[in-house]
Structure 1
Amino acid sequence: MADQAETLREMMKHAPDSKTRIITVASGKGGVGKTNMSTNLAIAYGKIGKKVVLMDADLGLANVNVVLGIIPKYNLYHLIRKQKTMQEIIMDTNYGIQIVAGASGFAKIANLTDEERNNFIQEISALSDADVIIIDTSAGVSSNVMGFIAAADEAIIVTTPEPTAITDAYGLIKIIATEVEDTNLGLKLVVNRVKSVTEGKKVAERVINIAGQFLNLKVDYLGYVYEDPIVQQAVLKQKPFTVLDPKSKAALSVQQLVSRLEKVEFREGKGIGSFIKKLFSASA
């Protein structure tokens, strides 16, 4: 392990010093719309002129490509196994963004061999020319999810007004408070599927107040996304709702989230090098 850690530190010295902004999107439970959020957030970023890469980091049930209606020829599995390079698996789309498809059925990044881990690091460095990388994680609190959250510049936690979703969101935040050492992590909450602005605000206040009181952790309320029938229509058509109907309530909500990320609480990205170092430091 010591030799592996030293190898990783040495590689970090040569990592590109870009200012890529890395945003991880996570949720305490499945079914809250996390992947839809990640995908449409990426597209909204692309619409303001950012070079965006959307990475599907769900190594169990990858489905970003399903939301986009794309069948990838290669994915992270081929990259990790050194069968393909990042440039060979990254895909252009018709939506103004690039995607890196997830490796369905793959176990854990933490279980990679030294050679696979080092290769993964080198290949991720190839994304350093992106302005924004949005990472869609699996639902829950696996070591993979925590690793991507800890390594990012910002982490967006997605919940809904449902009591179980709120409880699980708080559970995820609680684990972040105990396992993530970076107290400056930009932790933000988005309430999905709200029927009103008031409903979103009440849910957010409940989670944020409890996190502050019992965990001494600052969580910012980024905003809400309206309950909107266009979302289900988009899923069935395998087309992002921000594209299917850019003027829909859900699409305008996502655009507002990007506006807040960029203008209200702008955090300059630390770059790919910092991300890689953090991602693998815990398991090294």
Structure 2
Amino acid sequence: MADQAEGLRELMKEMRPSREKKTRIIAVASGKGGVGKTNISINLAIAYAKLKKKVVVLDADLGLANVNVVMGVIPKYNLYHVVRKQKSMREIILDTNYGIQIVAGASGFAKIANLEDDERKEFIEELQELSYADIVIIDTSAGVSSNVLSFIEAADDVLIVITPEPTSITDAYGLIKIMSTEIDSQEMSLKLIVNRAQSVTEAKKVQQRVISIASQFLNLKVDYLGYVYDDPIVSQAVRRQVPFLVLDPASRPSECVMHLVSRLENVDYKEGGGMSKLLRNFLKPRKEM
């Protein structure tokens, strides 16, 4: 398993020189399932699309995919067809009504979650078809596997999603610990997102605990990116299969996602300023130094 993981990670690294332009790869990971990782991935993508970015969400939860389900999209083809060489990556890319594209995962196929060496190589080669995008957001599977570690190592930014639940915090630390031993920590950009926070105070306590432990016991730097409020609009959006940033752009979770993107892009965003405020700050000319 270690040799397989190393081979896939090397192949992911090889993607970078072949890209005509710099595609920013953001991997969204979690120590356990059920923390809202897919929801975060989709709404981050939509926020980026509002900044006129070409965004692709890759459902890399190979075996238990659900990005298309959350968005109410029924794909005709998915990654299973790519692995089986029935379709190319470009042929399965789906446009959506939200300004982003998705690559649907293959739910219910155990084989795709445990690829052989040659299958892994061919799969990664297919991923180069996404190099036209400005942003590729990889919604990884929960926990740690050779696939997850490979996607994480290939990413420019790794966003770790946790909730205030003790089990989520413990599992997130376990994920970070394995990452610190399997991946060159000097090359990783780890950022923490606290999901389903009841308050700013709660979110800060959770992030301080994780960041402090990672620093003290793993000598690893983890940055705090932000939080997303626990709000009924999120569950409503899931039931209606519409991203909450679309269902209610003025909601607290939507504001939080805009804050996350502004920090990732290093631009100003003030609560209540709206998307137009963010766009003005992002696009306004800068004085020459």
Q: TM-score normalised to the size of structure 2?
A: 0.85
Specify the code of the residue in structure 2 equivalent to 1:168. Answer: D
Matches within 5 A, 1:174-189: 174-189=177-192
* Aligned equivalent of 2:276: none
Specify the code of the residue in structure 1 equivalent to 2:46. Answer: I
Tell me how far 1:13 sits from its aligned partner: 9.3
Tell me how far 1:183 sits from its aligned partner: 1.6
Q: Larger deviation: 23-32 or 178-187?
A: 178-187
1:213 aligns with 2:223: no
Mapped to 2, the partners of 1:157 and 1:196 lie a distance apart of: 19
Mapped to 1, the partners of 2:16 and 2:263 lie a distance apart of: 33
* Aligned equivalent of 1:195: 198
* 2:111 partner SS: coil
1:168 aligns with 2:166: no
Matches within 5 A, 1:113-152: 113-114=117-118, 116-152=119-155
* Aligned equivalent of 2:256: 253
Tell me how far 1:200 sits from its aligned partner: 0.6
1:71 aligns with 2:81: no
Specify the code of the residue in structure 2 equivalent to 1:56. Answer: D
Unaligned runs of 5+ in 2: 269-289
Is the 8 Å Cα contact of residues 106 and 112 (structure 2) preserved in structure 1? no
Structure number with the bigger relative contact order (C-alpha 8 A, sep ≥ 6) is 1
Specify the code of the residue in structure 2 equivalent to 1:183. Answer: Q
CA deviation vs aligned residue, 1:137-187 (integer Å, no higher than 9, x gap): 111112211111111111100001111111111111111111112422110
Q: What percent identity do the matched residue pairs reach?
A: 67
CA deviation vs aligned residue, 1:179-237 (integer Å, no higher than 9, x gap): 11242211000000111111111100000000000000000000000011000000100
* Aligned equivalent of 1:269: none
Specify the code of the residue in structure 2 equivalent to 1:231. Answer: V
Unaligned runs of 5+ in 1: 266-284
* Aligned equivalent of 2:116: 112
Q: Larger deviation: 119-128 or 81-90?
A: 119-128
* Aligned equivalent of 1:275: none
Is the 8 Å Cα contact of residues 25 and 34 (structure 1) preserved in structure 2? yes
* 2:87 partner SS: coil
CA deviation vs aligned residue, 1:64-107 (integer Å, no higher than 9, x gap): 00000001000111112110011210000000000000022243
* 1:199 partner SS: helix
Specify the code of the residue in structure 2 equivalent to 1:111. Answer: L
Specify the code of the residue in structure 1 equivalent to 2:136. Answer: I
Match of 2:247 among 244, 251, 257: 244
Match of 2:105 among 99, 102, 108: 102
Mapped to 1, the partners of 2:114 and 2:78 lie a distance apart of: 18
Check 1:240–1:51 CA distance in 2 against 1; reply closer, same or farther (3 A cut): same
Is the 8 Å Cα contact of residues 52 and 98 (structure 1) preserved in structure 2? yes
* Aligned equivalent of 1:273: none
1:83 aligns with 2:86: yes
Mapped to 1, the partners of 2:191 and 2:243 lie a distance apart of: 23
Is the 8 Å Cα contact of residues 83 and 112 (structure 2) preserved in structure 1? no
* 2:187 partner SS: coil
Mapped to 1, the partners of 2:261 and 2:175 lie a distance apart of: 23
Is the 8 Å Cα contact of residues 82 and 119 (structure 1) preserved in structure 2? no
Specify the code of the residue in structure 1 equivalent to 2:251. Answer: S
Check 1:13–1:27 CA distance in 2 against 1; reply closer, same or farther (3 A cut): closer
Q: How many residues matched?
A: 261
Specify the code of the residue in structure 2 equivalent to 1:91. Answer: L
* Aligned equivalent of 1:35: 38
Specify the code of the residue in structure 1 equivalent to 2:214. Answer: A
Specify the code of the residue in structure 2 equivalent to 1:95. Answer: Y
Tell me how far 1:249 sits from its aligned partner: 0.3
